[in-house]
Amino acid sequence: MRLDKYLCSSTEYTRAMAKRAIGKGQVTINDQTVTNPATKVDDQAIVTLGGQTISIVGNRYILLHKPVDFICSTVDESHPSVINLVDVEKRQLLHIAGRLDADTTGLVLITDDGKWSHAITSPKRHCKKRYRAELSEAIEPPEQAQIIEQFKTGIQLNHEIGLTRPATLEFVSPFEVLLTINEGKYHQVKRMFAAIGNKVVELHREAIGAIELGDLELGDWRHLTEQEVKGLDG
């Protein structure tokens, strides 16, 4: 990696700032002052900036319990970005792997590993996602078996060609359900219930693949374990 890029990857410096620092002799590689921004930095090199050792931030894999009125965007828009809730270095490198609407709570995955996030969000991977939904209209036991079968067969969404993929629906109560889907069409959960004449009034994502939100408090976050990262990647 070029030295100027190394500085940008390990600090808040822009490329121009990195080149200026290098040109002023503020950077060393293995105790040797280097003034050429194009100098190559190998994996074992010790790099200092202004006398302080710096290193590239490795890939981050983060699980966040998203509150309402935050958006799954890397920048603030109509609502603040969920990235604001994560206290790590170089947050500007992070992106969201699988979005939730502003009014939806639950599990959000955040990373700076593009290959990993693509493996999660790619339609070809059929990654399962489990949601807990509260409905506006009760679905009583006599109807539940029929609705479960409809979701298993596939639902015809408005303005879509073909049915949704088979989904697993479980009734917690006449007003509350658990729905597991393995695709991610626009507003899919809400549209699936709208297609059967009902409405989702509250929506919460509990799991993506084998990763469970668990008892993480609303607005809190944690790093994924190595096992969790590999489980979604594979």
Instruction: Please name the residue that has the structure tokens 């700032």.
Output: 17
C-alpha angle 168/189/209, rounded to 5°? 55
69 is catalytic: no
User: Which residues have a Cβ under 8 Å from the Cβ of 96 and sit 6 or more positions away?
Assistant: 72, 73, 74, 82, 83, 108, 109, 110, 117
DSSP state of 69: T
Tens digits of residue pLDDT in 155-182: 999 989 999 999 999 999 999 999 999 9
The Cβ of residue 127 has, within 10 Å, a number of other Cβ atoms equal to 19
What average pLDDT is seen over the chain? 93
pTM of the predicted model as reported, rounded to 2 decimal places: 0.81
Residues in the chain: 234
In tens, the pLDDT along 181-233 reads 999 888 999 999 999 999 999 999 999 999 999 999 999 999 999 999 988 76
**Cα 79 from Cα 197, distance rounded (Å):** 30
- Give the angle subtended at the CA of 51 by the CAs of 47 and 56, to the nearest 5°: 35
Q: How many CB atoms lie within 10 A of CB 144?
A: 15
Please tell me which residue in 101, 103, 112, 113 is annotated as part of the active site. 101
pLDDT digits (tens, 9 = 90+) for 25-82: 999 999 999 999 999 999 889 999 999 999 887 789 999 999 999 999 888 888 999 9
Q: Reduced to 3 states, what is the DSSP secondary structure of residue 65? A: strand
Measure the CA–CA gap between 92 and 56, rounded to whole angstroms: 14
Domains of the chain, first to last: 3-54 (3.10.290.10), 58-126+215-234 (3.30.70.580), 128-208 (3.30.70.1560)
Helix (H), strand (E) at residue 226: helix 226-233
**Measured between alpha carbons, how far is 169 from 187 in angstroms, rounded to an integer?**
17
